[in-house]
Every structure is written in C-alpha cells, then in structure tokens.
C-alpha cells in the first residue's frame, strides 16, 4: 500500500524503529542509518524491528557521513528520529537544515515527553509517560498496584502508532501543498489522547477512584485465576453478553449476580466468580465457552498464542514473529528480511552517486 514512499530512519530505541518497521511492513522503502560501532556487524544479533529495511552505517560526527545523510534526506519523503530534543540539531540535521534541502520532507520526531515543556530533557520510559498522562490510573484492579503489558500502552499505542499516523498525514499534505512539516509525536501526548475513549463513557467512568469505573471494577471485566494457575479474561460489557455469560456459567437464576451495574455489589460478585473459576483449569473453561458470545478468552503466553486455532488460521505469526498488520483485501503482506547492520551500505551509496547526490 505504501510502495514508492521513502522513509529515512535514524537509529534509536523502542517506538521510533517500531514505527519505521510498521511503515516497511506496509510497503514503504525504509533506509535506516545505523550508528558506527567497533563490533563486527556480522556478529551482532539482528533486530526484529529492522525487518524490511535497508541499512547503512554512518558516523554522524564525521563530515563525510553527514554529507551522505543529507543526500539521503534529499531523496526521502519522511524522516524518523527518536533522539532527545536538540540532538539532531547539534548533529546539523535539525528540521531547518533538512527542510532547506527538501522542503516537502515530513520530519517525524519521537520522544516520551515531547520537544518542549518542563520534562522535555528528562529521561523516562513507557510506564512514566503512561503514569503522568492519567492512563495508568486505570491499569489494575482495586487495591492492586497499577500495571499494564510492557511497551504496549505507551511506546506502541501512545507513541509509535501516533508517529505513524502523523507521518502519513504529513505526507498526504505535502503531496498537495509541496510543504513538509515537523511531527512532534510525544508518548505523553498520545496516551493522554487515548483516554478520550474511556472518558466518553461519561458518569460510568470515575476520574477520581480506581476500581469504580465501567471497565476497571466490575466482576465481568477482569481476569480470573483457574485451578491450574492459568487465567481467563472476562469482559462481557453489554447486557446480552452478560446474560450469555451467566447462562454458560450456570448462574442465570442467581439473584446475587442479577444486577450487572451496581458498583456496591461488584466486590461480592467478584469473589463469587473467583471461587468458581478457581475450581476448574483454564483449558476446561476455554472449552466450555468455545462458540459462545459470552466474551471470555484464555490468557495465553506468546508461545501458546501461536498454537491457538484462531491465531494459526489467520496466520498471525510467521516463523516465530508477528506478521504485518493490518490486512488489505483480506491478505497480509509478506514479512521482510531483517536487515544486518550496514548490509546495504554499498548499494545505497551507489544509488546516491547515480542520482548525483554525492
């Protein structure tokens, strides 16, 4: 879908290379500038986030390599960098410099705190950004320490995916106007924006008390421990799904579970369900709910997930790694090869020479 789109990525950690990989998965030509190291590139482990990319190693403290980087800028539609604010400017590759070379370039900046503000130059990680934004407040059950799956909420949800959307939006605008832009994708911005869906639930979503909201407190919206130590995830929000859940559990006529939306009853209702789920294994519960609309699923490890019939039928994993997403016209894009650091350096330089850029 993105054939013909050229992305220049400068090596960084986490959400920036993920965003670039996502664009490569969708067909963009992504050239990643890897840092120069003293290690033998052939002996370095390949990074999954470099799949589908071309790699060249440049020392951005050397004038000759900066010239190569600027030549790459001239033939790119967008740039991705995940440095701290000011680093690219000190290297001589800030927005003003590159826009003078390529006015239509979309300059994508990935940070945790953003390009400005009191915390802009401070260190941070996924949980810090999610915590400050208010999103982590809902990441746990009543009385428990907040927590979410690592990297998914901040780095990916509030970071990489917002950068990807921002870059594609900027490219569409540049193709109409001929003018590029700077995309300031801050994880704290993205995770804050993601709260909009939760807050849209109005009075059923508390902004002050954990465990009192529609999705973080009810007995029908949580995970339960099973007899074998495994877990099942239950989230039957709509009354018709909740009714089916009770039916499968054999609790259709239980008066203690009849009222679905009374927060005062949730603790007792939760304890009741916890005792029931603890009596059978995870796989037993999975089989019992198979084919129903009760909105119950097992909590699988990534290794187990690959063996699940639904996951396998859709080909979501390929050779131990997740396949590109989303799909177009019902088909997934082939998974690209993981680039070895510097593997395409000679090829890239030759292209720049042929195009008269170096």
Domain ranges within the chain, ordered by starting residue:
6-195+332-355, 221-299
Q: What percent of the chain has pLDDT over 70?
A: 99
Of 35-49, 50-64, 254-268, the range with the lowest mean pLDDT is 35-49
In this predicted structure, the answer to whether residue 280 has a pLDDT above a threshold of 80 is yes
| 125 among known catalytic residues | yes
Residue 7's pLDDT is 98
| 155 among known catalytic residues | yes
Largest Cα–Cα distance in the chain? 79
Residue 41's pLDDT is 64
How confident is the prediction for the chain on average, in pLDDT? Answer: 94
Reading the block at residue 117, the tokens are 């503000």
Yes or no: is domain 221-299 CATH 3.60.15.10? no
In this predicted structure, the answer to whether residue 199 has a pLDDT above a threshold of 70 is yes
Mean pLDDT of 45-71: 95
Which residues, in sequence order, are CB contacts of 143 under 8 Å at separation 6+? 211
Mean pLDDT of 325-338: 91
Residue 79's pLDDT is 98
Q: Which of 271, 272, 299 is nearest to 285 (CA)?
A: 299
Of 1-10, 134-143, 161-170, 239-248, the range with the lowest mean pLDDT is 134-143
Residue 242's pLDDT is 98
CA distance 87 to 95: 11
In this predicted structure, the answer to whether residue 307 has a pLDDT above a threshold of 70 is yes
Instruction: Rounding to the nearest 10 degrees, give the CA dihedral for residues 207, 256, 141, 282.
Output: -140
Residue 211's pLDDT is 81
Task: Catalytic residue, from 25, 50, 126, 155: name it.
Answer: 155
In this predicted structure, the answer to whether residue 207 has a pLDDT above a threshold of 90 is no
In this predicted structure, the answer to whether residue 58 has a pLDDT above a threshold of 80 is yes
Residue 141's pLDDT is 82
Q: Are 139 and 153 in contact (CB under 8 A)?
A: yes
Q: How many CB atoms lie within 10 A of CB 81?
A: 22
Reading the block at residue 250, the tokens are 């054999």
CATH number for region 6-195+332-355: 3.40.50.10540
Task: Catalytic residue, from 65, 99, 125, 308: name it.
Answer: 125
CA distance 356 to 358: 6
For 181-184, the CB contacts below 8 A with 24+ separation are 181/106, 181/107, 182/95, 182/107, 182/109, 183/106, 183/107, 183/108, 183/109, 184/109, 184/111, 184/114, 184/115
């Amino acid at each position: 879908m993105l054939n013909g789109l050229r992305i220049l990525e400068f090596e960084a950690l986490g959400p920036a290379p993920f965003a670039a990989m996502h664009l490569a998965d969708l067909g963009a030509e992504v050239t990643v500038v890897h840092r120069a190291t003293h290690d033998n590139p052939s002996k370095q482990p390949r990074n999954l986030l470099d799949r589908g990319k071309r790699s060249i190693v440049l020392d951005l403290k050397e004038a000759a390599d900066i010239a190569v980087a600027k030549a790459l800028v001239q033939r790119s539609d967008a740039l991705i960098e995940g440095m701290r604010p000011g680093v690219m400017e000190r290297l001589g590759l800030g927005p003003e410099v590159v826009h003078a070379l390529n006015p239509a370039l979309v300059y994508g900046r990935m940070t945790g705190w953003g390009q400005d503000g009191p915390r802009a130059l401070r260190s941070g990680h996924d949980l810090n950004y999610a915590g400050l934004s208010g999103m982590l407040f809902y990441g746990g059950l009543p009385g428990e320490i907040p927590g979410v799956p690592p990297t998914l909420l901040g780095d990916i949800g509030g970071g990489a995916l917002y950068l990807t959307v921002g870059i594609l939006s900027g490219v569409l605008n540049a193709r109409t106007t001929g003018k590029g832009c700077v995309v300031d994708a801050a994880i704290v911005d993205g995770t804050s924006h993601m709260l909009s869906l939760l807050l849209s639930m109005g009075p059923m979503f508390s902004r002050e008390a954990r465990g009192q909201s529609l999705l973080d407190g009810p007995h029908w919206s949580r995970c339960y421990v099973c007899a074998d130590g495994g877990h099942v995830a239950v989230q039957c929000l709509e009354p018709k799904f909740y009714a089916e859940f009770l039916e499968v559990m054999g609790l259709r006529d239980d008066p203690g579970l009849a009222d679905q939306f009374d927060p005062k009853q949730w603790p007792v209702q939760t304890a009741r369900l916890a005792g029931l789920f603890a009596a059978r294994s995870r796989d037993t519960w999975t089989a019992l709910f198979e084919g129903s609309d009760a909105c119950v699923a097992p909590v699988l490890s990534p290794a187990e997930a690959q063996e699940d019939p639904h996951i396998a039928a859709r080909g979501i994993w390929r050779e131990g790694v997740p396949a590109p997403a989303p799909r177009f016209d019902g088909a997934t894009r082939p998974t690209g090869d993981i680039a070895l650091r510097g593997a395409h350096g000679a090829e890239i330089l030759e292209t720049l020479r042929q195009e008269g850029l170096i």
